[in-house]
A and B are shown apart, each in its own frame.
Chain A
Amino acid sequence: RKEVEQDPGPFNVPEGATVAFNCTYSNSASQSFFWYRQDCRKEPKLLMSVYSSGNEDGRFTAQLNRASQYISLLIRDSKLSDSATYLCVVNDRGSTLGRLYFGRGTQLTVWP
């Protein structure tokens, strides 16, 4: 079983649309959760951390459901520049190393 699983998509949405991604994780002891964004042929970049109470950063909202072990990312008012692959990331709580497990990513294309 994979540590982190995501729907690979692709999600194709028009500008201005709202789109949501979910991912599930297998380690119930995980404590840190993130969403990263990866543009084509570029390195992943941290988009936002996911806090237990949920958090919002502009048009982006992240939610955590510990009981069901899933994380979500909501993007409102999609922009062309939001087109990218979104990686769901979970830490290995048992490691002081700070190891992270990356999902394979969900591809988003926003069209005009």
Chain B
Amino acid sequence: SQTIHQWPATLVQPVGSPLSLECTVEGTSNPNLYWYRQAAGRGLQLLFYSVGIGQISSEVPQNLSASRPQDRQFILSSKKLLLSDSGFYLCAWSTRGGGTYNEQFFGPGTRLTVL
């Protein structure tokens, strides 16, 4: 069965510090990968998605970036965090190809607080 891991689970960082969040998927190959952010009391905002190694598309211009160095690894980064970067960061995967029923499955998330 497929599993998706994220770490760390919780992170408190000062404004201006760098960020690196990691997501890995097991039990599947060539997945589509996604990074979402959920601010307190808000809906899910798609930040980045990837259909393959080195292929990253950005949905919202901001001070975050993403990379996919391996097929089942997805990394979210920032060089300098802003207060507005606080939120619940979720990684998700789906079967590549966008079939009719392309459910996405989420990792446990990282709760980031920027002070």
Chain A residues at the B interface, C-beta cutoff of 8 Å: 31-32, 34, 41-46, 49, 87, 91, 95-100, 102-105
Given contacts A43-B90, A49-B103, contact A102 B109 (CB under 8 A): no
Contact with A along B57-87 (1 / 0, CB 8 A): 1000000000000000000000000000000
> Secondary structure at chain A's binding surface: helix, strand, loop or mixed?
loop
Asked whether, in the complex, the Cβ of A44 is within 8 Å of the Cβ of B106, the reply is yes
Interface size on B, residues (CB 8 A): 27
Contact with A along B82-114 (1 / 0, CB 8 A): 000000101000111111111111111101000
Whether, in the assembled complex, B15 has its beta carbon less than 8 Å from a beta carbon of chain A, the answer is: no
What's the nearest-Cβ distance from chain B to residue A100, in Å? Answer: 6
Asked whether, in the complex, the Cβ of A97 is within 8 Å of the Cβ of B42, the reply is no
Q: How far is the CA of A73 from the CA of B81 in the complex (A)?
A: 39
Of A34, A97, A103, which contacts B32 at CB under 8 A? A97
Asked whether, in the complex, the Cβ of A46 is within 8 Å of the Cβ of B90, the reply is no
Name the A residues within 8 Å of B106 (CB-CB): 43-45
Given contacts A32-B100, A103-B43, A105-B43, contact A98 B105 (CB under 8 A): no
Interface CB pairs A-B, < 8 A, 27 = A32-B100, A32-B102, A32-B103, A34-B103, A42-B109, A43-B106, A43-B108, A44-B44, A44-B106, A45-B106, A46-B103, A87-B44, A91-B102, A96-B97, A97-B32, A97-B51, A97-B57, A98-B95, A98-B98, A98-B99, A98-B102, A99-B49, A100-B102, A100-B104, A102-B43, A103-B43, A104-B42
